[in-house]
A and B are shown apart, each in its own frame.
Chain A
């Protein structure tokens, strides 16, 4: 964050000091702009967009030499055996492949950087000089992180859809329950799945934001968030811990595949969204409690 940015941020607000609701949107807009203009953010999005391209090309090469379908035994990420028959399945495969690690890692970087990054760069106190108030600044930061969740997921989905359309045929598709749905409904379900995947990341985002209020080092906050993510993913694999696993934010992540059943099986989807809401509530308010009381030294 450069000095000029801060000047622009505070400068933009002077006219609207009295009309605070509008001011919030101004703050949010400038936050969004600064976040999405960063090279780091763009690089993260580029990496995410590359995953479906790699998967698509790998599947294409694997199947072009006349051999049978990929992953004959059903190995690999979910839905991968269906890609050659319908490019739309690349969307689901790409989301299933990026959700366990790539997406939350990107969120961890953005969320961890949200407060600690400003503190690290020495710009946090300037932000607070503006009459935004700490709660509002924190809310804005969280909103920006969630916007990034949505954008990152959509980048993966759109990139996968493009690659899938270019490399593979499109058309009516078979749900995993064996019934057929039209391509339009398939697209609708793909969009729904992308939204659910984005919502699945809310928990990590809140966790990252909380960690970010604990430290003044952006790198430390990012590393802690990503480290926590990896730890939880590993713990989720240990069968002896099955009693606490349903409370891990990542436990029901892959339930988005239930949207491809017919009729849709909602149980785990609802549990997933409930867990995300719980994490958002708990860590969001913890971040607020911490940030309100924090000594701003940088």
Chain B
């Protein structure tokens, strides 16, 4: 202010105006400062919290894998975030038809509390789940939705599915074999938690894959090692898989799958908050609320014949595996629940073949109209020694459907699919 006061060329009135104007403007500094501080907080706090990877003793990949194998976490509760970006348009039902490998997905329209009805939702977007474990006989998995929740509760012999939005209950029973499924020694269990994911992936370790320890990280407030798994083969769409393993318990906490094409992770699943304390016993108690529509698992058989057998948690997990079908073709060649697909290639480049015996996918011109244009936009026409067909692409799984009705599916690029189809001829 002083320079203005001593400035001879300014009249007294102008000085006052200027001062008043400055004072006016000065007040607006307050809201600007509030917004600025808020923006800085939003921008900087996560960065500060993230910075500084924990100092942990050096460890080899072998030791880390052993640590995972030895891990025996029986009690756990936490929040789990899963982000899937397959690069599919958000079309709801479409993912399910891809996920079940064009094998005809029975839409269980019996009850919205039916576990399989909920699974397709996981195939795209970001979802928050809550997990609680207490020993072999008590597990709970909740899918948090807007103002509602879908819970799957396993308590002893009972398996309950509860959809709070429609107030519908699904009830099934677990037989003794399934009751013991919390054991780590059952590798055929499908991946549902990071632990299962990792086991699936590690089984595929052979000369096709490099496994290294890639530093450390903070995950869900815990110190963790990062296990980096990279395919050595070319032709696969899988770029790298990172598993963050809790340094104390050996429990995998975060699983990230990045595609070879780069960009955002295809699957990013990890705990955002985890506790290894015993969850409250009441967490696993469930009695159907008054007036809720209860569907027993037997009742669903009629409405969903495609699935045939019981819709138990085991099947639920199988379904989940289908959603993340990539690990199936990598981890367990030649093993499929129905239809018995043969597998071409090995390791990351495995391609599963299904013979639908049908006519293949109608081309856009045949279907005509909007739907036809939609089909054409989804698929690429390809031709080769095998004849011609359509390639449907996602960021991870690609499928080739030939005109004579064969379906080739794998986590491989288009050329590898065509090669596989050629070799099958």
Contacts and interface: CB of A to CB of B under 8 A. Distances in A.
Contact of B31 (A71, A82, A179, A285): A285
A72 B166 contact: yes
B164 A285 contact: no
Contacts of B31: 281-283, 285-286, 289
B281 to A, nearest CB: 10
Interface stretch (A32-40, A73-81, A149-157, A221-229): A73-81
Contacts of A265: 79, 128, 130, 144
B118 to A, nearest CB: 12
A21 interface: no
A174 B287 CA distance: 9
A59 to B, nearest CB: 12
B206 to A, nearest CB: 41
Contacts of A84: 291
Contacts of A171: 290
Interface stretch (B50-58, B63-71, B145-153, B298-306): B145-153
Contacts of A68: 293
Contacts of B177: none
B37 to A, nearest CB: 9
Contacts of B79: 265, 267
Which of A85, A171, A267, A289 counts the most chain B CB atoms within 10 A? A289
Contacts of B148: 74, 78, 176, 257
A171 B290 CA distance: 10
Contacts of A73: 112, 166
A267 B149 CA distance: 15
A86 B167 CA distance: 12
B30 A180 contact: no
A180 B285 contact: yes
Contact of A288 (B23, B30, B128): B30
Given A69-B293, A85-B167, A281-B38, A179 B282 contact: yes
Contact of A178 (B30, B128, B164): B164
B266 to A, nearest CB: 19
A178 B38 contact: no
Chain B: interface size category: 35 or more
Interface string A173-192: 11111111000000000000
Nearest to A239: B90
A54 interface: no
Contacts of B167: 69, 81-82, 85
A278 interface: yes
A137 interface: no
A258 to B, nearest CB: 8
A292 to B, nearest CB: 6
A293 interface: yes
A60 interface: no
A207 interface: no
Chain A: interface size category: 35 or more
Contacts of A90: none
B286 interface: yes
A82 B289 contact: yes
B27 interface: yes
Contacts of A132: none
Interface string A267-293: 100000000001001110110110011
A176 to B, nearest CB: 4
Contacts of B142: 177-178, 261
A56 to B, nearest CB: 16
Contacts of B112: 73-74
Nearest to B26: A289
A79 B165 CA distance: 7
A105 interface: no
A81 B165 contact: yes
A55 interface: no
Interface in A238-254: 254
A257 B146 contact: yes
Contact of A286 (B28, B149, B285): B28
Contact of B289 (A72, A85, A169): A85
Contact of A278 (B28, B38, B146): B38
B35 interface: yes
Given A254-B146, A254-B147, A74 B160 contact: no
B310 interface: no
A178 B162 contact: yes
B283 interface: yes
B81 to A, nearest CB: 10
A267 B220 CA distance: 14
A288 B285 contact: no
Going nearest first, the 5 A-B pairs with the smallest beta carbon separation are A78-B147, A257-B147, A289-B27, A176-B164, A74-B165
29 contacts: A69-B291, A74-B165, A78-B147, A85-B289, A85-B291, A85-B292, A173-B289, A176-B147, A176-B148, A177-B130, A177-B164, A178-B149, A178-B286, A179-B283, A179-B285, A179-B286, A257-B148, A265-B144, A278-B34, A278-B35, A282-B38, A285-B31, A286-B30, A286-B31, A288-B27, A289-B28, A289-B30, A293-B23, A293-B27
Interface of B: 23-24, 27-28, 30-31, 34-35, 38, 79, 112, 128, 130, 142, 144, 146-149, 151, 153, 160, 162-167, 282-283, 285-287, 289-293
Interface of A: 68-69, 71-74, 78-79, 81-82, 84-86, 96, 169, 171, 173-180, 254, 257, 261-262, 265, 267, 278, 281-283, 285-286, 288-289, 292-293
Given A254-B146, A286-B31, 18 more contacts: A71-B166, A72-B166, A73-B112, A74-B148, A78-B148, A81-B165, A84-B291, A85-B290, A86-B289, A174-B164, A261-B149, A265-B128, A278-B34, A285-B34, A288-B27, A289-B31, A293-B23, A293-B27
